Amino acid sequence: MIKGIGVDVVDIARFEESLVRTPGLRERLFTDEELATSQDRNPSFLAGRFAAKEALAKALGVPEGLAWHDVNVHRADNGAPIMELNGIAKQRAGSGKIHLSISHDGPVVVAMIVIENSRG
């Protein structure tokens, strides 16, 4: 049974401009692990991580108290994007399985989340 669905689209150039214009934004949006992994990558990498976090927030119903650092987006051994949840995000998702897809095309990146309830 589906518990939640979320999708987000990010304009990569606009996102990069926001990171340049707003000091400290990278550190507010991303975990230390995400920032370390993003070294030497193009701007679409962090834009994809951001889109994934936004899509998760939507799938969870934008819970009060959700923090950007409650979500860590990284890669599984097979290269697929996965999320590690903490805090409010983990509480709201419960034992639901999170399916995440991130896709880049030209100037945009899109992320989609489906949260599948373990009951059903």
Active site residues: 58, 104
**What whole-number distance in Å separates Cα of residue 24 and Cα of residue 113?**
27
Nearest to 29 by CA among 9, 60, 54, 4: 54
In DSSP terms, 11 is beta-bridged to: 108
118: which DSSP letter? S
Q: Helices (H), strands (E): how many in the chain?
A: 5, 5
Measured at the alpha carbon of residue 105, what is the angle toward residues 103 and 2, in degrees to the nearest 5?
A: 30
Burial (CB count <10 Å: 0-12, 13-18, 19+), residue 47 = buried
